[in-house]
Structure 1
């Protein structure tokens, strides 16, 4: 689909010759509700609140396969998960796609730069970017002693290489003593300027300094936090350590057997069984978010100082969320809102020829696959036929217009061993099928946004559940795992994380 097929006036149809600059601010593991503009009672995010006040908030944005690699495959290819082939987490699988977000924007005349996380294979696969300054965070698979020299993070990751140049050969993000998937939290041990969050902003600002002023640019500032390690500088821990924080959401349906079994393991999928350690995880997570927000503020101020802010579209999102001890769970890959519901904001400078209603909210169900066609549409390029996502440009002028509607429901999933799951989400409700056990769940999100009450057994909603189950059967029909015969769902099927 290209922009002309939308039936709406977009940037590429207005006869404007000047292409806007595009800044994609990507975060890692940031859940949808941990932001000031989203109404969180504790977390403070003044700069992201500013973007929301000046832009359109898509408040039903999801990550259909909510872990780092699969989510980024959707972002970079515009494909849904069964087409890009990553339905779970698996390292060291080559990324070979004909069409990518950066490649198409490069073809449209943009200078394309990524700073920060890519999480692709091989590590220095540029995916069509003109240049990448890489920091993937702590990747276990890229740090083992058996990893080839050129694929080792100590060589291929620009931040780690720089950190050792600055602080000595032994310097590492693990100096804090905490792991990249852990709920353990403590402040950063070095000067703040050495923190990975600051580094992404520093290198983004340097790109603005040395860019070619004659060309439009696409800058992807791809931050690592608030993905663990939960290690913001001390100042940000101090903002939250004495606050009475809202406790994690636990409803009427959870089973605490896994928490009792694994709750003292430092990187468990349950989070800690000790309530004080759960509180410390919240403090660390919120601290990372506000630190991130302030660094995004630096980037926004630099755009203003370079006199390009008014000519720039800013899109802000995350690859997936974080359960943060909700439902006795931690990390991601789950079908619940903390894991799969993500933030999405689009804001534009006053000189950008984009029909956008500021300080507005769009309730359409959107997904990471929609970002690539949206940015290509804004750039005036041609959206490849391989793209499954939809441009969000038609929704920005009149976010409440019911005729501007891109999908009634979304299929999400994740291969996750005994916790493997599939789900159908709409603007108002969610159906979940646990593919290992066959267990089903149903939540009325419009009344119960934090999934406290599972209504799967209630007679009054059986017709609706059957309808959503039918959408899932339709989505899974013909899949190699043989999850369905076209009439019923079949549990216990082998479910590898990669379909390539």
Structure 2
């Protein structure tokens, strides 16, 4: 029988928040072991670092330009010819998704045989019934109904008083730990092992909402970090340090000067959520062993994007800086089906669209022609003369902060399309992006190479950013390209 495939996604986890990456405080013993049982990619990126475009690339293996999702926009139907789950289903796998999908319509299967859904407290489902979408959180979310069946009174995620996008506020979970959405997802996933068709291999996608806000870890995990001496976030010489309008006081801020104690609570809670997820992943790995399938399961762990967490006085995601765009990416193979060199790290630049060809390749399933990503299997097998990409193209529409960027994990060129501002970071010498080198003479040639690459990437795009020779500032941005709207 072919190997089982397990895709573990988390939401909004930074690449550096792993103890195997020598983070000064975060403890991730189970993820560390997955990395020891496989390969850790240190230069993995979300090319368009927010939930909708990132997940579109994961499920289709296509670039953001091909999915049409170059920014964040809800309520655009997902109409893709080939999806990761559909290919596994057609190949005879029993396919199941548990947790976050963030697709539209909300309960679209996207090729899975079944979906058990918890997307978090979605923006367009906050109203009890939305006449435009004909959906409500009550009707589409399996976790909320499950939780209410096990509690007294009308219990909701909003009871904590935390917004679903606030990266600056935190408080401990208010119910029993087993009722937390992180525990629920693991419980449902273990139940899938019991109920699955044993005559078929399985493809299971476990998609945790945390450590995405609300920052609400169970107390036992919050207590691990709340009294620690936590690291200060990096502050680049280019960062805004004024915050004259006091944006940092907004509980759902994306930037600004946040009161110190408020920030430290949020920081502790964010780290706590990561350790909580790690423990629940360990719980599921134990279940794989108990059901006798651990050594016949290939595991890929990834996040859809990161969290700035105060870096350069910025919060949340969407921007091109390392805290937001650099993601953890671990391919583990306990049974050694892939003949990889285990307990190793690779520096080749990879991105989320590489997940689909990698997992299909691991199961020896043909990769559809629509897939633009590249399988990492030749890299992990240390094959000779592997031709790998030189860089990735990243972007995100974000009002006046809309940008385009080029990076190979060792240097990064950023162009803000509405203002023309440019930045260049030498990530080898300056991994925390403290110094913008755009005006430094020593980098002129390297900057021009990256600028030319971006000019070619954008040539012919409908927004009119480039004619193949120059970049044009101030062109109207679109979060979704025309072909994805038809």
Pairing partner for 1:198 from 183, 186, 210: 183
**1:136 & 1:356 partners in 2: Cα distance?**
34
Structure 1 position 44, deviation (Å) = 0.3
Aligned residue in 2 for 1:362: 346
**TM-score normalised by structure 2 residue count:** 0.97
* Contact 1:441/1:456, CA 8 A, preserved across alignment: yes
SS of equivalent to 2:287: helix
What is the match of residue 212 of structure 2? 227
Counterparts of 1:403 and 1:461, CA distance in 2? 29
Equivalent-residue separation in structure 2 for 1:165 and 1:263 (angstroms): 38
Give the distance between the partners of 1:273 and 1:308, measured in 2 at CA. Answer: 47
Instruction: Provide the C-alpha distance between the structure 2 equivalents of 1:338 and 1:260, rounded to a whole number of angstroms.
Output: 24
Deviations 1:363-398 (A, max 9, x none): 110000000011111111111111110111111112
Query: Following the alignment from structure 2 to structure 1, what is the Cα–Cα distance between the partners of residues 257 and 222?
Result: 19
Measure the CA separation in 1 of the matches of 2:386 and 2:97.
32
Which position in structure 2 is the counterpart of 1:475?
457
CA contact (8 A) 1:80 1:389 kept: yes
**Mapping for residues 110-149 of structure 1, pairs under 5 Å:** 110-148=93-131
Alpha-carbon distance in 2 for matches of 1:431, 1:99: 32
- 1:443 — aligned with what? 425
1:150, distance to aligned residue in structure 2 (A): 5.5
1:166 equivalent in structure 2: 150
Q: Secondary structure at the match of 2:203?
A: strand
Per the alignment, residue 153 of structure 1 pairs with 137
> SS of 2:400's equivalent?
helix
SS in structure 2 of the partner of residue 353 of structure 1 = coil
Task: Please show how residues 178-197 of structure 1 align to structure 2 within 5 Å.
Answer: 178-182=162-166, 183-197=168-182
Query: Does the 8 A contact of 1:111 with 1:218 survive in 2?
Result: yes
- Secondary structure at 2:98 match in 1: strand
Distance in 1 between residues matched to 2:123 and 2:330, nearest whole Å? 31
Aligned to 2:15: 32
Contact 1:67 1:333 in 2 (8 A): yes
Q: Secondary structure at the match of 1:364?
A: coil
Cα distance in 1, alignment partners of residues 357 and 84 from structure 2:
8
Q: Is the 8 A contact 1:79 1:389 kept in 2?
A: yes
Report if the CA contact (8 A) 2:57-2:352 is conserved: yes
SS in 1 for 2:59: helix
Could you tell me which residue of structure 2 aligns to residue 404 of structure 1? 386
CA–CA separation in structure 2 for the residues paired with 1:73 and 1:173: 26
Aligned with 2:196 (options 211, 221, 225):
211
Conservation of the 8 A alpha-carbon contact between 1:259 and 1:272: no
Contact kept? 1:200, 1:223, Cα under 8 Å: yes
1:332-376 superposed Cα distances (whole Å, 9 cap, x missing partner): 0001000000000011122x5312111011111000000001111
* In structure 2, distance between residues paired with 1:187 and 1:169: 20
1:383 maps onto 2:367 in alignment: yes
- Superimposed CA distance per residue, residues 114-155 of structure 1 (whole angstroms, 9 cap, x where no aligned partner): 000000000110100001100000101122245148521111
Which runs of structure 2 are paired with 1:198-277 in the superposition (5 Å)? 198-258=183-243, 260-270=245-255, 272-277=257-262
Q: Secondary structure of 2:249's partner?
A: coil
Secondary structure of the structure 1 residue equivalent to 2:349 = strand
Could you tell me which of 433, 440, 459 is aligned with 1:458? 440
Q: Give the aligned partner of residue 100 of structure 1.
A: 83
- Cα shift at 1:257: 3.7
- CA spacing shift, 1:52–1:108, aligned 2, 3 Å: same
> Would the aligned equivalents of 1:364 and 1:405 in 2 still touch at CA under 8 Å?
no
- Please list, as runs of the form range in 1=range in 2, the aligned pairs for 1:277-296 lying within 5 A after superposition: 277-296=262-281
Measured after TM superposition, the shift of residue 402 of structure 1 is 7.5
CA distance in structure 1 between the aligned counterparts of 2:41 and 2:89, rounded to whole angstroms: 26
Query: Which one of the candidate residues 293, 302, 308 is aligned to 1:308?
Result: 293
Report the counterpart of residue 77 of structure 1 in structure 2. 60
- Equivalent residue number for residue 484 of structure 1: 466
Which one of the candidate residues 406, 417, 424 is aligned to 1:424? Answer: 406
TM-score normalized by the length of structure 1: 0.94
Cα 1:405/1:240, change in 2 over 3 Å: farther
- CA distance in 1: counterparts of 2:323 and 2:253, whole angstroms: 16
1:230 deviation in Å?
A: 0.3
Contact 1:428 1:445 in 2 (8 A): yes
- Determine the structure 2 residue equivalent to 1:321: 306
Q: Tell me, which stretches of 5 or more residues in structure 1 are unaligned?
A: 1-17
User: Hey, what's the Cα distance between the residues in 2 that align with 1:187 and 1:145?
Assistant: 26
Partner Cα distance (2:20, 2:256) in 1: 27
* Cα distance per residue 1:9-35 (max 9 Å; x no partner): xxxxxxxxx310011000000010011
Counting only pairs closer than 5 Å after superposition, residues 3-22 of structure 1 correspond to structure 2 as 18-22=1-5
Given that 2:14 and 2:324 are in contact with CA atoms closer than 8 Å, whether structure 1 keeps it comes out as yes
1:167-198 CA-to-partner distances (Å, cap 9, x unmatched) read 24621111111111112000000000110000
Change over 3 Å in CA distance of 1:227–1:271 after alignment to 2:
farther
Deviation at 1:280, TM superposition (A): 1.2
Match of residue 41 from structure 2? 58
C-alpha contact 1:271 1:278 (8 A) present in aligned 2: no
